[in-house]
Each structure stands twice: as C-alpha cells, then as structure tokens.
Structure 1
C-alpha cells in the first residue's frame, strides 16, 4: 500500500475529493491513498444520509426536530469533519476549530437546556 502523502482538495459541502484545486474546495489536505479512500467512503455515507434526509422532507406533519433522518446526517457530517481533523495539518485543524462545528453538531438535541418551554419540545 502506498504510504506517500499527496495533496487533495476537499469540499465537504459538495462531497468532492480532487487532486487539482477547485473553487469549491474548503480544505487542502495531504493524505495517503488509504486515508483518501477512507474519506471517500465517509463522504459517500454522508451523501446517502443527505438523500435519506431529502426524501423525508416531503412527509407532511413530521416535525424535523422529531425526525431521526437529520440526526443520521448530522452523525455522518460530524464523522467527516472529525476525520479531516484527525488527518489534517495544523491549518486544517485550526480551520475546523474556527468553524466550531464539531461541538455544536454533537449537541443538536432539541431537549437541550434552553428548549424546556418550547412549544415544539413535546
């Protein structure tokens, strides 16, 4: 297996990994082929959850905060960012830390403190 790291340009929002710069790239990461393959699998899982969430959006009378589909998407998105954080360089880590996305996405439950009196918290 090739352990040489190559530069890849990642767009989480577009589920893209490319070896040439592109306008939608959010991250520039040095990865081995194995790391790139693992990230590709994670992005494919995220894409599948995105499709599942989209399909559920058309079901009437289903409150989004009581639907499990968005939670599955959030879990996969956290997994992608956590993996990028794990394999990324200091710049990538600082960028993800600056987004403050990992902590926020891990605490999306509508039952969190502050929602106690919400009419939607039933």
Structure 2
C-alpha cells in the first residue's frame, strides 16, 4: 500500500466508502490513504456489530438505553468515525461536523 491520498465519498447511514461520487448517495467527501480507509472501514464494521447488539437489546424492555454497553460502544464508535471524517474531510465536511457538535461531547467511560 502506498501513502498517496485519494478522494473517497462516505455514506454514514450504510457505512459505504466509495471512490465514485455518482454510484450512490454520500454525506462526506474525504481525502485518505489506503491505510486510513482501512481504519475507517474497521470503525464502520465495529459499529455494525454493536448495532446488532442494540437490536437485541431493543427487544428486552427492562434494559435501559443508558445502561447498555453496546449503545455506549456504538456512540464511541460514531465519535471515532466522525472524528476521522473531520480530520480527512473537505471544508464542507468539517463545517457540517462542527455544526453537529458530536466531537465536543465527552467520551463515555
């Protein structure tokens, strides 16, 4: 793998990372190396695993959202994803993430 940055388009909802701006809808445009894309993909994959755990928890009425480790892990994962997109993104991506305020939240223990 080389350290050359390429343009990618990221969709948060489905965790898709593409080099084509026209193949599917996207939220953020980033410039990243192959290694950075691998890391971002791992973050999306980890969050998908936590989503499955959240689905199961949603069917157990006595487990509250704020007492669920999968929800905490998912939230932390989303902060990692948005932080990485912020670091690699264009000005529009950074402005949008700043407006969300997601990176200003303290991490969960």
What TM-score, normalized by structure 2, do the two folds share?
Answer: 0.85
Gapped regions of structure 1 (runs ≥ 5) = 109-122
How far apart in 1 are the matches of 2:11 and 2:40?
11
- What residue number does 1:14 align with? 14
- What residue number does 2:75 align with? 74
Aligned residues: 108
Residue aligned with 2:99, SS = helix
Alpha carbons 2:6, 2:32 under 8 Å: kept: yes
Alpha carbons 2:76, 2:107 under 8 Å: kept: no
Alpha carbons 2:29, 2:90 under 8 Å: kept: no
Would you tell me which structure has more helix in proportion to its own residues? 2
Higher gyration radius (CA): 1
Residue aligned with 1:82, SS = helix
* Structure with bigger RCO (C-alpha 8 Å, 6+ apart): 2
- What residue number does 2:103 align with? 102
CA RMSD of aligned residues (A): 2.0
